[in-house]
């Protein structure tokens, strides 16, 4: 608590000093590892009564984010960020007698804090930014076999660290940015909603199946600077 209080004081001191806030929106493209979930699909496929196919297997997808940054000094900016990612998979089989479809929809919301360092302050600015977030992932599994449907939801969480570099160009108060980084995910296990004791595991080993969002990130950003004083 002492540390949190000290940080808030430091921020207030900073606000009173520079009085600039930047609101920023990000649209990016994430390359997701999600290796456990892909393995899970392979296992499911093996155990199907019919020879199905994985038609969609957690592909790399765009992600979205937003943040509010406070320019604490000429070099350092502190921010609060929130990111949203989603991807999914499908196992499919269909013949004259009916259809089998196993859909997995994975979403993640990761609020966090960020610290940004200005490395080059020319017309084109270069930043290094490190974002620390806590991700909340949700995996919805939907099985449709012939006329029966079954749906389960698992939730997991984990700490994410994403270091990245950013090139920015200002046009008046508007700032356009180009970002590239790598997200390191430390995921937890997936727990069944409604029964916290049930987790998603590999059948053979009993190891937890984790939602690992690690991977490269590329993003475009648009920010707007507000001068408070």
Residues in touch with other proteins (CB under 8 A): 23, 25, 49-53, 55-56, 61, 64, 66, 68, 82, 84, 86-90, 92-100, 103-107, 109, 145-146
- 4: β partners: none
> Strand 195-199 to strand 148-171: parallel, antiparallel, or no bridges (unpaired)?
unpaired
Q: CA 91, CA 101: separation in Å to the nearest integer?
A: 6
- Nearest distance from C-beta of residue 120 to other proteins, angstroms: 28
- Nearest distance from C-beta of residue 42 to other proteins, angstroms: 15
- In terms of CB distance, is 108 or 179 closer to other proteins? 108
- In terms of CB distance, is 91 or 209 closer to other proteins? 91
- Nearest distance from C-beta of residue 21 to other proteins, angstroms: 9
What is the maximal distance between C-alpha atoms in the chain?
A: 72
- Nearest distance from C-beta of residue 48 to other proteins, angstroms: 9
Q: Is residue 62 helix, strand or coil?
A: strand
Q: Is 188 exposed, middle or buried (0-12, 13-18, 19+ CB in 10 A)?
A: middle
- Nearest distance from C-beta of residue 49 to other proteins, angstroms: 4
Q: Is 201 exposed, middle or buried (0-12, 13-18, 19+ CB in 10 A)?
A: middle
- In terms of CB distance, is 48 or 180 closer to other proteins? 48
- Nearest distance from C-beta of residue 190 to other proteins, angstroms: 17
- In terms of CB distance, is 99 or 121 closer to other proteins? 99
- In terms of CB distance, is 62 or 188 closer to other proteins? 62
- Nearest distance from C-beta of residue 121 to other proteins, angstroms: 26
Structure tokens at 103: 């859909």
Q: CA 197, CA 181: separation in Å to the nearest integer?
A: 36
- In terms of CB distance, is 83 or 127 closer to other proteins? 83
Q: Name the H helices within the chain.
A: 2-18, 35-46
Q: CA 179, CA 164: separation in Å to the nearest integer?
A: 7
Q: CA 178, CA 222: separation in Å to the nearest integer?
A: 9
- In terms of CB distance, is 104 or 179 closer to other proteins? 104
């Amino acid at each position: 608590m002492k540390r949190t209080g000290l940080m808030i004081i430091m921020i207030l001191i900073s606000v009173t000093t520079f009085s600039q806030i930047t609101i920023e929106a990000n649209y990016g493209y994430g390359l997701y590892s999600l290796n456990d979930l892909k393995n899970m699909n392979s296992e499911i496929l093996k155990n199907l009564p019919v020879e199905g196919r994985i038609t969609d297997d957690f592909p790399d997808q765009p992600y979205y984010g937003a943040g509010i940054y406070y320019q604490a000094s000429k070099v350092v900016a502190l921010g609060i960020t929130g990111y949203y990612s989603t991807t999914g998979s499908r196992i499919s089989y269909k013949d004259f007698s009916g259809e089998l479809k196993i859909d997995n929809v994975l979403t993640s919301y990761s609020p966090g804090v960020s610290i940004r360092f200005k490395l080059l302050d020319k017309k084109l600015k270069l930043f290094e930014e490190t974002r620390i977030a806590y991700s909340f992932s949700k995996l919805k599994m939907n099985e449709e076999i012939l006329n029966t449907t079954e749906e389960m939801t698992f939730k997991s969480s984990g700490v994410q660290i994403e270091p990245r570099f950013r090139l920015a160009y200002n046009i008046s108060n508007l700032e356009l940015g180009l970002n590239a980084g790598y997200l390191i995910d430390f995921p937890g296990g997936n727990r069944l909603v409604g029964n916290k004791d049930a987790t998603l595991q590999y059948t053979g080993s009993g190891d937890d199946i984790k939602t690992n969002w690690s991977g490269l990130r590329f993003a475009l950003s648009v920010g707007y600077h507000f001068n408070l004083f």
